[in-house]
Amino acid sequence: MQRYTKTGGEIWDMEESQSPRMGSVILGVDGGAGNTVCVCIPAAMPFADPLPVLSRAVAGCSNHNSVGEDKARETLERVMAQALLKARRRRSNVCAVCLAVAGVNHPIDQQRMLDWLREIFPSHVKLFVENDAVAALASGTMGKLHGCVLIAGTGTIAYGFTRDGREARAAGAGPVLGDWGSAYGISAQALTAVVRAYDGRGPETALTNSILDFLGLASPDELIGWTYEDQSWARIADLLPVVVESAEAGDEVANKILHNSVGELASSVKAVVQRLELSGEDGKDHFPLVMVGKVLMANKRWDIGKEVIDCVTKTYPGAYPIHPKVEPAVGAALLAWNAVASELDGSPGTVA
């Protein structure tokens, strides 16, 4: 089952050179627009806190809409191989894989990825492919698919499940169709504000000097070349801290961008909650609202996550926020573990 990259390098050659340990394992992969993380957990694990993680590997972007399908697949395959190498396991030790990747938005996407995974792993391995938002939700609910998750990192999406398996999503269509509220969306609006101020179409803003200093540029004219020389979403999104710092310093333009972003993120959550009726007929039923992503982390004076929660709970007071203790890759592994647990030890396939 040796595999080769298009550049001629062997991905799985490590399997021939190591002395593997015994024991079945599960791989959980979280692939976003920023990076890709794979964790390896024991299949016959006790449910403990913290959860036992045998290994963890990190790679670059694996969103095929951003880097192309070939590059995305190579990144995913390499990160899985690296995680197994660190855990001293082979593909024959794997009993299940859950791949949760941004850009998987349709059953056709899922089937294409499943067919590709089947070429990599032995026939006994159970394979699961989900959008990365599903793993993020599972990271807050410890593998149970119920409630709503809001991801606001490089990109953004809101995704929800009912207890009977119905699902709905909002946003997550990428930067061209408006990932407003994401780090990319916030940063892109900041760049636009600087250009507008420079040519007289918009108000003056402290973002101009802050962004130029951060990038080491001398004039807003240079922003055009900087922006288009490499249109990586993550590269633009890296300007998020500059926007937040400018807002905290009192810049009106930066504050307006962040306030608008809060409204966009809250609207995404509300759309999912309404479509799935997660709050019940009276709007007061309790449901988990899992908050994931760097945009939602608290800053000195600007706490976008708290602002979003306050906005959502005014309409749906039963929403209770959860900030996961484990990363989404572990959530992906828990999804796979729940699905195969009954086959492993005869117990119900859920995490208590």
pLDDT at 352 exceeding the cut of 60? no
Average pLDDT over residues 86-111: 90
Report the percentage of the chain scoring pLDDT > 90: 70
For residue 347, pLDDT beyond 60: no
pLDDT given for residue 126 in this prediction: 96
Question: 205-234, pLDDT tens digit by residue?
Answer: 999 999 999 999 999 999 999 999 987 888
Mean pLDDT, residues 125-152 taken together: 93
The encoded tokens of residue 232 equal: 């990586």
pLDDT above 70 (res 49): no
Quote the pLDDT of residue 193: 98
Do 105 and 117 form a contact (C-beta atoms < 8 A)? no
Would you place residue 1 in the very low, low, confident or very high pLDDT band (cuts 50, 70, 90)?
low
Question: Residue 113: what pLDDT?
Answer: 92
pTM for the structure as a whole:
0.83
Task: Give domain limits for the chain.
Answer: 25-142+326-345, 145-324
Mean pLDDT of 201-207: 97
Q: Indicate whether 291 pLDDT > 80.
A: yes
**Block residue for tokens 């962004």:** 211
Q: What is the mean pLDDT of residues 267-293?
A: 94
The tens digit of pLDDT for each residue in 312-330 reads 999 999 999 999 999 999 9
User: Which fold would CATH assign to domain 145-324?
Assistant: Nucleotidyltransferase; domain 5 (3.30.420)
**Residue 301 in this model has a pLDDT that exceeds 80:** yes
The pLDDT of residue 76: 94
Write the pLDDT tens digit of every residue in 142-166.
888 999 999 999 889 999 999 999 9
Q: How far apart are CA 110 and CA 201, in angstroms?
A: 44
Query: What is the helix, strand, coil percentage profile of the chain, to 5?
Result: 45, 15, 35
The DSSP letter of residue 67 is: H
Residue 350 pLDDT > 50: no
Interacting residues of 230 by C-beta distance below 8 A, sequence separation 6+: none
Query: How far apart are alpha carbons 244 and 307 in whole angstroms?
Result: 14
Task: Using pLDDT thresholds of 50, 70 and 90, give the confidence band for residue 345.
Answer: low
- Between residues 292 and 64, which one has the greater pLDDT? 292
Give the pLDDT score at 318: 95
The predicted structure's pLDDT at residue 163? 92
Which residues, in sequence order, are bridge partners of residue 332? none
Higher per-residue confidence, 239 vs 44:
239
* Model pLDDT, residue 17: 67
pLDDT per position as a tens digit, 254-264: 999 999 999 99
Q: What 8-state DSSP symbol labels residue 294?
A: G
Looking at the predicted structure, is the pLDDT value of residue 175 above 60? Answer: yes
Average pLDDT, the chain: 89
Q: How confident is the model at residue 68 (pLDDT cuts 50, 70, 90)?
A: confident
| pLDDT at residue 204 is higher than 90 | yes
**164 DSSP assignment:** T
φ, ψ dihedrals at 8, nearest 5°? 95, 0
The CA distance from 276 to 282, in Å, is 14
Same fold, 25-142+326-345 and 145-324: yes
Say yes or no: domain 25-142+326-345 is CATH 3.30.420.40.
yes
Measured at the CA of 46, the angle between CA 45 and CA 47, to 5 degrees, comes to 110
pLDDT in tens, 18-48: 666 778 999 999 997 778 999 999 998 666 6
Whether the predicted pLDDT of 6 surpasses 50: no
Sign (positive/negative) of CA torsion 207, 211, 217, 222?
negative
The DSSP element (H or E) to which 192 belongs, if any, is helix 183-198
